[in-house]
């Protein structure tokens, strides 16, 4: 059995990982991802059309990087939780 203080830390790490994955999903669902299909020179003309498309594309890239960063952070936290759980179990079984 894992000691209570270690269990609390493990649960906290897993909760933080879950929150990061949820944030990543929310970032993936942002309206900006759908807007690029409704913008650009095929929808309207002029220099502002391309500027709008460029800005939306840049925003999408930033959101994608942020969601990737959230997922990577979640994986690191899960790995830390797994490692802590193994260490705690090893201490208990000594």
DSSP three-state, residue 38: helix
Instruction: Calculate the CA 62 to chain-centre distance.
Output: 12
Q: Residue 75: name the closest of 3, 24, 7 by CA.
A: 24
pLDDT along the chain (94 residues), means of 10: 84 98 97 81 79 91 97 98 92 70
Quote the pLDDT of residue 1. Answer: 61
Percentage of the chain modeled with pLDDT above 90: 61
Dmax over CA atoms of the chain, in Å, equals 73
46 secondary structure, DSSP code: S
Q: Which residues contact 10 (CB under 8 A, 6 or more apart)?
A: 2, 81, 84, 85, 88
């Amino acid at each position: 059995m894992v000691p209570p203080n270690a269990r609390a830390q493990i649960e906290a790490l897993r909760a933080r990982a879950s929150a990061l994955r949820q944030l990543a999903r929310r970032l993936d669902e942002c309206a900006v991802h759908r807007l690029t299909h409704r913008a650009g020179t095929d929808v309207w003309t002029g220099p502002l059309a391309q500027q709008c498309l460029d800005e939306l594309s840049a925003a999408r890239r930033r959101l994608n990087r942020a969601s990737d960063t959230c997922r990577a952070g979640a994986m690191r936290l899960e790995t830390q939780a797994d490692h802590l759980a193994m260490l705690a179990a090893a201490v208990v079984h000594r």
